[in-house]
Amino acid sequence: MTPSVNNHTSEIQFTDHREGGEEVPHLHADLVLPMDNNNNTKMQVHADQKCSTNKRYLPLLVINYVILFVGSLSASLLSKYYFIHKGSSIWVSTWVQTSGFPLLMIPICVPYLFNFTKRVPFTDFTPRMLILSISVGIMLGFNNLFFSWGNSYLPISTSALLLSSQLVFNLLFSVIIVNQKITFSNVNCVILLTLSSILLALDSSNERPKGLTQRNYFFGFFCTIAAGLLFAFYLPLMEKIYKRVNCYEMVMEMQLVMEFVATTMATIGMASGGGFAKMKAESTMVFDKGCMVYWVTVVGNVVTWQLCFMGTAGMVFLTSSLTGGICMTALLSMNVLGGVLVYKDAFGGFKAVSTILCIWGFLSYVYGVYKVNRKEQHKALTRNKNSSDSSTDIVNVVTY
């Protein structure tokens, strides 16, 4: 562990050197302490919330998984509800996915306003982070469009299980981008979830919506696969970026910029095709549940999609891109059951086996992670007993 000094910000960083020579920040705590009696200089220490020993880690992890569960299930059902009741605008479906980005100001500002942290929002947001956020936001905009196309043409159960195929590419990109270790548990999980998608494809021809042409069906099929591919690349890319981020609030700040960019793209698409005027006409003359239900559906989509994106970003930040992807894929089985219960999607033998494989793969991965964590904890305890210096955390000291 070696200290490094940043002359521009009076910053002292204690860095833990891990395998491969990478320097990984570990602790960045939220305390204000006196440093110099002569000039009343103060020191701020910010706790790295990715560290499992941080007191905010477990509550954040639980809250994010609940948010992801509620957001994923609700967003899928509400998106399908919009199309079932004669909503037809792909741009509206795309726009609602990220247009609720102002809601992210709640997790960004509330911790500071209630003195949970001393960090002022956006103070550490560098130009490099801004460029990265804009670039990822463009990719997110295309991903949302592909998802909307796929969701408009396919039954919710089919599109949900098709998206599980992204795990194969998630694992591949994770190995390339963030040096994810390949273990039996994650490979077994990916294989099982891929098999579930193959079984679904074999049975998918029996559940096409009435009036859907073969061309549109396959268009929706491949758009869903494309959305899964982009999302598989998005997750490890964000994990790579989050390695330099120490607090959940900064993750939400980056997410806000990404969603602003994606919303801008969708807004341009809507404006160019007269989407906003069509949206008003659709609510009064096309949507068969009436104007009030139409706008409730739109607002519900906006809120639930925000929950979904917040939960995803938080899971990647607190765990890993592969874990986040696997959690989302496991939740897809809940989307399948939701589609069957709410919209009466067919649930035959193939789909039942696919759901079982989904759950089996997720549980095998969770067990594998549990075993690895137990092994790492044992190694850490052994190191602490054999070392006189038990301080392996990284401290980020900022002088005012």
Q: Which amino acid is at 212?
A: L
Query: CA distances (Å), 372 to each of 206, 379, 385, in order?
Result: 42, 11, 20
Q: Which amino acid is at 390?
A: S
Q: Which residue has 């037809």 as its token pair?
A: 88
From CA 218, how far away is CA 226, in angstroms rounded?
Answer: 12
Token digits of residue 348: 């035959």
Answer yes or no: are the C-beta atoms of 305 and 93 closer than 8 Å: no
Model pLDDT, residue 94: 86
**DSSP H helical ranges for 56-164:** 57-84, 90-98, 105-113, 127-153, 156-162
Residues of the chain with pLDDT below 50 are: 1-45, 392-400
| Total residue count of the chain as it appears in this document | 400
Burial of 187 (0-12, 13-18, 19+ CB in 10 A): middle
Phi, psi for residue 143 in degrees, rounded to 5: -60, -45
Q: Which residue has 């942290």 as its token pair?
A: 117
Model pLDDT, residue 211: 66
From CA 104, how far away is CA 122, in angstroms rounded?
Answer: 13
